[in-house]
Amino acid sequence: MSISLVKDSGKTGDNLTNDAHINLGFDLANGAVTYTLKSIVKGKEKVIGKAGTSFDAKLLDDAGNFLLPATSKAGQYVLEVKQGEVASSLSFTVDNKLPSALKIAIANDTGKKSDKITNDATLKLTGLETGATVEWYNSTAKQWQTVATDLLTVDGKTTLLKTGDLLTGDFKGTLELRQVDAAGNAQKAATKVVLTYDTTAPEVLNSSVPSEADSIANGKSSVVRIISNEKLIGLDKSDFVVSNTALASVGAIKEVVQKDGTVAYDVTLTASKTGGGDVSLSFAKNAAVTDVAGNALNVAALAEEALAGFWIGNGNLQVSLVEDTGKAGDYITNNGDINISAIRSDSAIEFRIKANSESLPEGSIDWIDIEGLVIDGTSETISIESLYELANLSLENSPVDGWKDTIEFRQVNELTGKTSGSTALTFTYDNYADMFFGESPESDEVANGQSVVLQFTSDEKLAGFDKSDLMVTNAALASITGVKEQMVTEDDWVYWNYNVTVKAGATDGEVGVQFADSASITDLAGNEIDLAAIEPYLLFIV
């Protein structure tokens, strides 16, 4: 004959139960059965009812199990059963008292204080009874499941639960927990905790310039829009750097929540009042930005590339002659190079000859791309001849003193197609050395004390021609008293007169007029005249 608990609801074999139904392993046909039920209080036994009470089959429940009188109350009991000479006993404890509800708090709320958003899902449990187990409700499986003991750590009067190991990933919602005491009694109502468990780092999805402007005028501002997949915390202007702080600075940052749930951050970039050049905006490598849960933005990777780039200033090119070989500021030159600066790295350069320029007296031409121009940096030099060639013009058709032209330049952003304003350069390019020759006088004889006017002719205006450029071979007989531009003809020939005066009382003789060895005569562009090719004049004193 044997007796046992129908339901050992505690740990197997500990005879701790919340259900006092007893399984009696005997047959009444073998004889009468008596039982004695004792309670144990503070180590002392006390018989409940009458010792040796006869078993009454009416005490069986529908399942054939026997519920002893008075055992519905919690306590420690000993049941002794006897049938004839055969006896058996069972010591057991009944605990049908429900444990109190657990108290739960987020151990480390890594987000804003008390917002229950965290990247650390460890929960702090208080009120957990000794020997009790913790269960959580798996909403996916729709059942209560026991929390493994290795996920629980006792910390004084509290127990820490690594909830993150229970979840399959990030979680947002209500988590239900309960404790089940050693007898198998579960707390009456589950304890619920609302939390957002977020371990995913935020991402910057893209950056753009809403205005599509690729330049910022001096003293003006533009906005760079950064789109994040979630709200960012701690983002301010110290988290950004500009490539040239002399040209631009970071200002206010405005947060804009998008309809699709993403979050935009408009970062203001203000240009300096003066100066120009390329500027880029990037994340600072030491930026400290997180999402609401405290997950850090990977700024190290983001800092490798610029978020946006701008040209500071009006975006126009700066154009000048490489060398103004004529008079300073007259823009007449024999150096055929033009310097173009303030070039953006992502731009192409275009030019056109402006209407009413001498090379195109009947109109202008469309903008022409300067093909083959290799841009290395922010400035380049290009030859005037190559521009005329691209415009299908030949310098062989220009006048001897060159065309006076105005050429306009602009740059085109190859990424956006936007063009800058035009920058004009007006100049005369003349690399032709003038024709220069002397005119023979009507008579080569000059009387004592008289003067004779001699003449040179050139095919364009000259610079630096005066009497110091001439000399007489016999200064005792004559001198040169002046050089003067006499007139310019309709066909642009220029006549130069100079006087040779014979001294009074000079003896008969021969006087030659020639250019001095130190003579230096150029046209307005600085092209030197070949004076060696000009024969000297010969005068006779009579």
Last residue in a domain, options 38, 65, 94: 94
- Mean pLDDT over 126-152 rounds to 94
Tell me whether residue 526 is in a domain: yes
Domain match, 218 and 306 both: yes
DSSP class of 170: -
pLDDT, residue 489, reads 66
pLDDT band at 221 (very low <50, low <70, confident <90, very high): very high
Helix (H) or strand (E) holding 460: none
What is the percentage of the chain residues whose pLDDT exceeds 90?
45
Residue for token digits 């903008």?
A: 367
d(CA 458, CA 489): 11
pLDDT, residue 182, reads 93
pLDDT, residue 508, reads 80
Is residue 129 predicted with pLDDT exceeding 90?
yes
pLDDT, residue 1, reads 67
pLDDT band at 163 (very low <50, low <70, confident <90, very high): very high
DSSP class of 399: -
Domain match, 152 and 58 both: no
Task: Select from 206, 216, 204, 202 the least CA-distant residue to 268.
Answer: 216
d(CA 363, CA 174): 78
Assigned token pair, 224: 């760079």
DSSP 172-225: EEEEEEEEE-TTSPBPSS-EEEEEEE--PPP-EEEEE-TT---EE-TT-EEEEE
pLDDT, residue 466, reads 85
List the CATH number of the domain containing 9. Answer: 2.60.40
Cβ pair 347, 340 in contact under 8 A? no
Domain match, 488 and 521 both: yes
How many CB atoms neighbour CB 408 within 10 A?
Answer: 18
Tell me whether residue 6 is in a domain: yes
Single-letter code of the amino acid located at 504: A
Single-letter code of the amino acid located at 391: A
21-25, 385-389, 456-460, 523-527 — most confident range: 385-389
- Mean pLDDT over 81-86 rounds to 88
d(CA 108, CA 123): 8
Domain match, 39 and 73 both: yes
pLDDT, residue 160, reads 94
Give CA angle at 7 (2, 12), nearest 5°.
90
Assigned token pair, 179: 């404790």
Tell me whether residue 534 is in a domain: yes
Cβ pair 376, 310 in contact under 8 A? no
Half-sphere exposure of 272 toward its Cβ, with a 13 Å CA cutoff? 14
Domain match, 331 and 364 both: yes
Single-letter code of the amino acid located at 58: K
Backbone torsions φ then ψ of 500, nearest 5 degrees: -115, 120
Segment among 112-116, 329-333, 419-423 with least mean pLDDT:
419-423
Residue 97 Cα distances to 183, 185, 198, 204, 211, angstroms = 9, 7, 38, 55, 70
Half-sphere exposure of 370 toward its Cβ, with a 13 Å CA cutoff? 27
Helix (H) or strand (E) holding 507: none
Backbone torsions φ then ψ of 376, nearest 5 degrees: -130, 90
Task: Select from 408, 233, 232 the least CA-distant residue to 317.
Answer: 408
CA 245, distance to chain mean position in Å, is 16
d(CA 401, CA 420): 33
Tell me whether residue 475 is in a domain: yes
Domain match, 190 and 257 both: no
pLDDT, residue 72, reads 64
DSSP 28-47: GGG--EEEEEEEEETTEEEE
Task: Select from 355, 371, 271, 365 the least CA-distant residue to 312.
Answer: 271
pLDDT, residue 71, reads 59
Give per-residue pLDDT as tens, 495-527: 878 888 888 877 788 888 888 888 888 888 888
Domain match, 454 and 493 both: yes
Tell me whether residue 405 is in a domain: yes
Domain match, 325 and 422 both: yes
Is residue 376 predicted with pLDDT exceeding 80?
no
Domain match, 63 and 84 both: yes
Is residue 474 predicted with pLDDT exceeding 80?
yes
pLDDT, residue 352, reads 92
d(CA 337, CA 535): 35
Single-letter code of the amino acid located at 484: K
Longest distance between any two alpha carbons in the chain, whole Å: 185
Backbone torsions φ then ψ of 386, nearest 5 degrees: -70, -35
Task: Select from 121, 118, 100 the least CA-distant residue to 109.
Answer: 118
Cβ pair 274, 218 in contact under 8 A? yes
Cβ pair 230, 291 in contact under 8 A? yes
pLDDT, residue 60, reads 76
- Mean pLDDT over 21-35 rounds to 83
Domain match, 305 and 212 both: yes
Half-sphere exposure of 492 toward its Cβ, with a 13 Å CA cutoff? 10
Q: How confident is the prediction for the chain on average, in pLDDT?
A: 87
d(CA 339, CA 108): 64
In terms of residue numbers, what domain contains 501?
A: 436-541
pLDDT, residue 442, reads 67
Tell me whether residue 13 is in a domain: yes
Domain match, 77 and 168 both: no
DSSP class of 14: S
pLDDT, residue 31, reads 85
d(CA 179, CA 184): 9
Cβ pair 17, 95 in contact under 8 A? yes
d(CA 470, CA 516): 5
Tell me whether residue 361 is in a domain: yes
How many CB atoms neighbour CB 39 within 10 A?
Answer: 17
pLDDT, residue 309, reads 87
Tell me whether residue 202 is in a domain: no
d(CA 514, CA 510): 13
pLDDT, residue 16, reads 93
pLDDT, residue 189, reads 96
d(CA 412, CA 133): 73
Last residue in a domain, options 312, 327, 348: 312
Domain match, 329 and 292 both: no
Last residue in a domain, options 429, 460, 477: 429
pLDDT, residue 108, reads 94
d(CA 322, CA 429): 12
Assigned token pair, 205: 């999805």
Give per-residue pLDDT as tens, 395-450: 888 887 788 889 999 988 887 777 888 899 999 998 887 676 676 666 678 888 88
Number of domains in the chain: 5
Is pTM beyond 0.85? Reply is no
Segment among 138-142, 229-233, 396-400, 489-493 with least mean pLDDT:
489-493
Give per-residue pLDDT as tens, 269-326: 999 998 877 899 999 999 999 999 999 999 999 999 999 988 887 778 889 999 998 8
